[in-house]
Structure 1
Amino acid sequence: MANPVIELPAFDTLKALADKDPEALETLRNQLVAEVIERAPSHQRAQLQGLQFVLDMERRRAKNPMQCCIRMSQLMHERVDRLRECLKDTLYYDGLASVGAQAEQDHNAVILHFPRPVQDAPPKS
């Protein structure tokens, strides 16, 4: 059974919280993150908690919100790049395995040799 979607407050409500009560916005953020992790399959929770820990530490280390945003973006790009490399390696090795299997199947194939056509001398001008 799929988890129901977590409803977020309207953008204007979040903007007002950010302007007037940043602590309440942070509390809401923490509650929503905890809820998302809690709804995740049990075998993924530890990894999600670890990722959230890394993000929280980067947030604390940042000197300003822009630095925080840039660093989190870099972290996400690094993870996507690692995933892309893993997928590329998997596809590469799967491709080699299927080529090898095809070569093994064709081991008893008859190879036909065709003579090369005799090339005419180029016309003299």
Structure 2
Amino acid sequence: MYILPSFDHLKDLNIADPDAFEILRNELINNYIESTSTQRKQRLIGLQFQINSRRDLSTNPMHSCIALSKMMHETFWDMRCSLEAISEITADSFFLTSPTTFSAPTEEKASAEVLELKQQN
């Protein structure tokens, strides 16, 4: 388990010495990647390569942040689509092999008394 420097320390280091910050950032990332299993290590090395490439192509830190955020959202979207596809396959398989019918549980609608609020002057 790694003990990471505090956010404030990293922020101050980046302001005072950006090169030292980058060295520390790369060191922490590489140490973490090296600590993982062989199978996971290859995936993380590839992912870090993509991240570094997007950062290198960016014109400024904000552009880099937006590019990496877009990359993350695209990955989540792909994962969502994959999960939906698996869900559809599983649901189709369930309905094809199950002798019973499936019905969603019904919910009772809650009732409430509406209170009149009076304005105070």
Aligned match of 2:51? 55
Q: Which has the larger radius of gyration?
A: 1
Aligned match of 1:27? 23
SS in 2 for 1:37: helix
Note the C-alpha offset of 1:12. 2.2
Cα distance in 2 for partners of 1:40, 1:82 equals: 24
Give the fraction of aligned pairs with identical amino acids, expressed as a percent: 34
Matched, 1:18 2:14: yes
Q: What is the identity, as a one-letter code, of the residue corresponding to 1:71?
A: A
Aligned match of 1:93? 89
Note the C-alpha offset of 1:26. 0.3
Note the C-alpha offset of 1:40. 1.8
SS in 1 for 2:59: coil
Q: Pick the structure with more helix per residue.
A: 1
Aligned match of 1:43? 39
- The structure showing larger relative contact order (alpha-carbon pairs under 8 Å, at least 6 residues apart) is 1
Aligned match of 2:118? none
Per-residue CA deviation, residues 93-114 of structure 1 (Å, 9 max, x unaligned), is 0000000001xx46xxxxxxxx
Per-residue CA deviation, residues 73-120 of structure 1 (Å, 9 max, x unaligned), is 000110111111111100110000000001xx46xxxxxxxxxxxxxx
TM-score where L is the length of structure 2:
0.78
Mind listing any 5+ residue stretches in structure 2 that lack a counterpart? Answer: 101-121
SS in 1 for 2:48: helix
- What count of residue pairs does the alignment treat as equivalent? 100
